[in-house]
Amino acid sequence: MLVVEDLTKTFGANIAVDAVSFTVEKPMMIGVIGRSGAGKSTFLRMMNRLTDATSGRLAFEGRDVLGLTGRSRRDWQSDCAMIFQQFNLVPRMDVVSNVLHGTLGRRSTLATMFNLFPRDDIHRAIDILERLGIAGHGPKRAEALSGGQQQRVAIARALMQDPKIILADEPIASLDPMNAQTVMEALRRIHEEDGRMVIANLHTLDTARRYCDRVIGMRDGRIVFDGTPDQLTTGAARDIYGAGADFSEAATSTSIDAIETPAARALHEAEAIV
């Protein structure tokens, strides 16, 4: 359903994403990992058409995503909702209105200017907030919520678009472990219950192992690992992060899972070796 072929992005002489290719046959939860600068954000931004690719092909359900323009490009951006590390909510606006802004792509400018939302959309926004366990915060300003609650509002806003894919760029990087866990569980449930594909850039290996069906490891713009969490051995983790000082820092950041899983144990052993 998703085909990525030789997708490349250069910024001047710098190759941010270098001939990335992979195929996804059915909706799943995919974690993209790699050190800072590996090209993870650029990849997601190309997928969502926030950034134009330099070359390559990206097709979703037969649709040539990179060739879309105008209205069809905006439709794709609706199908492919993005959430960000910093939530990108309107801080002073109430939670329900923030969620309703997920429908902006299909509303008139006039309706938007006067904050006129159809009753059905308001009900749907509240239902989605309920599902994410934060309906009680609906009337509050977004800025009054904790980081984890704000990220769930951002997820609710994305769900208002009824997307086929949710792209999450470091969704838990600003959160404490408890909030991070709640947000990752919400994304996992959205995948399992709705059958939506989720692709999340993650900076901790254990999060990718714990929540994802498939892990893609990027290094210097290239895919150097593509497999199941079980296949993500210490050797593979070293390839992804490099065997330098960065490796232990990035690979053993167990922000959520304090429990010593076999995977975490393997990483700690690797850290001892490096």
Ligand X SMILES: Nc1ncnc2c1ncn2[C@@H]1O[C@H](COP(=O)(O)OP(=O)(O)OP(=O)(O)O)[C@@H](O)[C@H]1O
Q: Rule CB under 6 A: is residue 34 a binding residue for ligand X?
A: yes
14 near ligand X (CB under 6 A): yes
Q: What is the DSSP string of 170-197?
A: STTTTS-HHHHHHHHHHHHHHHHHH--E
Which residue from 13, 25, 26, 36 is in contact with ligand X, where contact means CB under 6 A?
36
Gap between the Cα atoms of 68 and 18, Å rounded? 22
- 257 alpha-carbon distance from chain centroid: 19
User: In terms of Cα–Cα distance, which of 124, 105, 183, 103 is closest to 148?
Assistant: 183
Which of 29, 38, 183, 232 binds ligand X (CB under 6 A)? It is 38
Closer CB to ligand X, residue 13 or residue 110?
Answer: 13
Is 101 or 219 the residue whose CB approaches ligand X more closely?
Answer: 219
124 binds ligand X (CB under 6 A): no
CA 20, CA 3: separation in Å to the nearest integer? Answer: 11
42 contacts ligand X (rule: CB under 6 A)? yes
In the complex with ligand X, which residue's Cβ is closer, 99 or 187?
Answer: 187
In the bound complex, what is the minimum distance in angstroms from residue 170's beta carbon to ligand X? 6
Among 2, 4, 7, 16, binds ligand X (CB under 6 A): 16
In angstroms, what is the minimal distance from the CB of 221 to ligand X? 7
Q: 17: which strand partners? A: 9
Task: Tell me which DSSP letter residue 137 carries.
Answer: G
> Taking the complex as a whole, how short is the minimal distance between the CB of residue 54 and ligand X, in angstroms?
12
Residue 156, C-beta contacts closer than 8 angstroms, at least 6 positions apart: 99, 102, 125, 128, 129, 132, 134
Interface ranges with ligand X (CB under 6 A): 11, 14, 16, 34, 36-42
